[in-house]
Structure 1
């Protein structure tokens, strides 16, 4: 009998544990199963309330540059758009460094990662493949803040993802804060100051979380909401995306909303075979795979009768769902930092301005910043402004607001829909240095240097022009410190190839040809003459191969080596200068810094 009982316990203990958990009226969270079984919620769900932790397990996250931290994957209760209980997964990361008082919490709402289960943030953070928003997570952890991030409903739990279903997303963003505090020995308090931060889809989720906080999570100590690239008006956003470089986001939105509201958006009845195939493909792809596959696609190609987007939006049940995703209908009971790219080719600028005004009219203290870049570049620039703003909210400083701004609304500078997917760099500051190998001197470029160009991710070509201001420096000649003026003059346009891979890696291989000119100030009687220069262009390689997330703070840094040709037209000093300045191993460190955002 004892032997039989032992066998039953060994083979059935996981099942018995799940049944016991489901039967309990107020089951305490338990350690979750290993492997993919973690993502299969118990059925029925254990009784409880939204935000209750169901189970958890320790995990590791691969975030280069992040401080030492402990991390857990969690499964917790939440609520869908129709008020039904569901189970959602996510990640909790807590720095191991001490912090005085209750550790602040940032509920980070990820932007579009793709509809496939492998693309969910918790899976990518554990696998080390989160190549898009890692800089934002790292920046928050470096402040000593805990970071919690939801996977949103349906992405990992065997259901289809509820992409862009705002109420469900907002609920999941709020509920994971409560769930995180229930992990044994986690050291987090639900009373701690909490901020919500997200961009793009994450900006929508963060905004819904803010608008729902008062009624859905009244006990949450919400200190602020940072929301960028927010699609607050789905009618305008859908029309902006259709037939554009970002058409894949419209496809994802249709799939997600049809999943959340199948009775109101009957996907199979509305779509043709191409539409069904696109849905099935998208549900097995991550964001950049889908982005590349459906660039400039028109939704009429996927509808059963060739119906246009306007015709679909006019269907009463579809219109009802789309109207239900509108933001700006409620006040957010905390300060808001809203930001957007003036050249955003995915989310229209005008509807973002309208959202800001709607919140301001309801008494929300909104600080609005306008970045000069398109959608992805704006996302990478965010930590420069979001992190200080969050720090001020956690420190109880008076929140700034631009609600009183009466200037005319800014106009979009985005490329026309239907074209290539490209990042335009307009007069980005060019910082850096040149290391002269033989002289063992590092010469800093003047801060007024700039770069203007474009990276066309559709054609795979990069093109641009560097403008480096002449600068004075001192070099050693015959033991004398000779003051000279160096001119790094373009000898052609920067050109090469650039590629954004399906897994979110940016690969660039370009060359910047320049002529190096030297002018002497005549000190110690040394004069090179007006024509002293390299006899042919210096070819500066610009290379990068890494995750898009490594473009943290919006900057791009390239460290490369070049060979300097012999110098000519330098008078009597040509042999000496050539021996000192020509040859291999001359190192260039160049960083492109975007213009600062402007308040509106």
Structure 2
């Protein structure tokens, strides 16, 4: 794939402040070299219109990879949300797919899917701030609007008809949040089903669990990402001056650099409160980011590893129970493996499930079920 690191690429430059394009509209596209290993016939980098978590219009970028035109699959679209790579705009999957993403995308392309890969808000595009990591609304809009922009487009891919969503870890969270959001936000999208692994369904519980441990960099990244998503609120009020500098630095780092820089450092080190997630404002933000606040109207396949050292399997089991109480069409699989190994182990069944979903017509319920928000 063509990359332009180290130089200014006008394709990824953000549009003016008065940007008002309707969500789900393709703004521009350019064909690029196909990433080695994906098995795709053609590929495009795209820029499209989406909405922030709180519905402010903004552009986002992504990647579209397509199989041979006569491949089985009927032009169905698979929105694949990759794992968390860091908070900076230079970490765009549309510029360079990670190894795990290449493996998953190639498996999907081989089965006839036109795969669309969102970069994430603030990633790829310049001048939009840090990636709003852990913001379910931002991730959902990014996924759904890319699928809408590509489906039916004559400019890229040739996708039409059915759509499905797949992700693991941060991508799994994006997938289920998109499924919950779709009926109200993108009812025009013919979404057939979702596969999601190791879903961070309860960010508040995970933050408390990971704080001061080997994954503490993800806790700090979560604070940076949600501060970006909720910038209309004074969510950085707890940060010390050193904390504000640390947050600005974190916004430039890859996930590996985040983990190395902030390993075993408690979040309270950067704040005026030892457990900032118990601050009333942060309690509100984290409660608003819980999954299962609404019921997806499509089948959902959940999977998780029993030895997951990052996201406890209890979180996915609880999500499964909450979705079942809401009447969601569910399937579930556990693997006797850790976080990274489960991503690979669960991919084959995830695609099998997605292939079955695209053959089913969506039958939305008369009224979408909801559960009360936590406070």
* TM-score in terms of structure 1 length: 0.56
1:105 and 1:385 mapped to 2: Cα distance? 18
Work out which of the residue numbers 248, 258, 274 in structure 2 matches 1:308: 274
Deviation of 1:99 after TM superposition, in Å, equals 2.8
1:213 and 1:355 mapped to 2: Cα distance? 18
User: How do 1:6-405 residues align onto structure 2 when only pairs under 5 Å count?
Assistant: 36-44=9-17, 47-64=20-37, 66-99=38-71, 102-125=74-97, 130-157=98-125, 158-160=127-129, 161-181=131-151, 183-190=153-160, 192-267=161-236, 269-303=237-271, 305=272, 307-309=273-275, 312-396=276-360
2:334 and 2:99 mapped to 1: Cα distance? 25
Q: 1:236 touches 1:348 (CA, 8 Å); kept in 2?
A: no
3-state DSSP of counterpart to 1:103: coil
Q: Structure 1 residues 45 and 225, CA, compared in 2 at 3 Å: closer, same or farther?
A: farther
Q: Which residue of structure 1 lines up, in the alignment, with residue 3 of structure 2?
A: none
Deviation of 1:147 after TM superposition, in Å, equals 0.3
3-state DSSP of counterpart to 1:211: helix
3-state DSSP of counterpart to 1:98: coil
Deviation of 1:277 after TM superposition, in Å, equals 3.7
Deviation of 1:261 after TM superposition, in Å, equals 1.1
3-state DSSP of counterpart to 2:281: helix
Deviation of 1:182 after TM superposition, in Å, equals 5.8
Deviation of 1:384 after TM superposition, in Å, equals 2.1
Deviation of 1:394 after TM superposition, in Å, equals 2.2
1:239 and 1:314 mapped to 2: Cα distance? 9
Q: Structure 1 residues 175 and 118, CA, compared in 2 at 3 Å: closer, same or farther?
A: same
Q: Structure 1 residues 68 and 189, CA, compared in 2 at 3 Å: closer, same or farther?
A: closer
Q: 1:46 touches 1:54 (CA, 8 Å); kept in 2?
A: no
3-state DSSP of counterpart to 1:248: helix
Deviation of 1:316 after TM superposition, in Å, equals 2.3
Q: Structure 1 residues 388 and 258, CA, compared in 2 at 3 Å: closer, same or farther?
A: same
Q: 2:195 touches 2:300 (CA, 8 Å); kept in 1?
A: yes
2:51 and 2:235 mapped to 1: Cα distance? 22
Q: 1:223 touches 1:394 (CA, 8 Å); kept in 2?
A: yes
1:84 and 1:263 mapped to 2: Cα distance? 11
Q: 1:339 touches 1:368 (CA, 8 Å); kept in 2?
A: yes
Deviation of 1:77 after TM superposition, in Å, equals 0.8
Deviation of 1:172 after TM superposition, in Å, equals 0.7
Deviation of 1:308 after TM superposition, in Å, equals 1.8
2:214 and 2:44 mapped to 1: Cα distance? 36
3-state DSSP of counterpart to 1:380: helix
After superposition, give the CA deviation of every residue in 1:129-158 in whole Å (9 maximum; x if it has no partner).
x23322111110111210001111112322
1:117 and 1:397 mapped to 2: Cα distance? 37
* TM-score in terms of structure 2 length: 0.88
3-state DSSP of counterpart to 2:39: coil
Deviation of 1:380 after TM superposition, in Å, equals 2.1
1:280 and 1:302 mapped to 2: Cα distance? 12
Select the structure of larger CA radius of gyration. 1
3-state DSSP of counterpart to 2:94: helix
Aligned residues: 354
Deviation of 1:397 after TM superposition, in Å, equals 10
Q: Higher RCO, 1 or 2 (CA under 8 Å, sep at least 6)?
A: 2
Deviation of 1:265 after TM superposition, in Å, equals 4.5
Deviation of 1:203 after TM superposition, in Å, equals 0.8
2:84 and 2:73 mapped to 1: Cα distance? 34
After superposition, give the CA deviation of every residue in 1:243-295 in whole Å (9 maximum; x if it has no partner).
2221111111100010111243532x422344234323322221122223322
Q: Structure 1 residues 63 and 239, CA, compared in 2 at 3 Å: closer, same or farther?
A: farther
Greater share of strand: 1
Return 5+ residue gaps in structure 2 as ranges.
Answer: 1-6, 363-375
2:143 and 2:213 mapped to 1: Cα distance? 29
Greater share of helix: 2
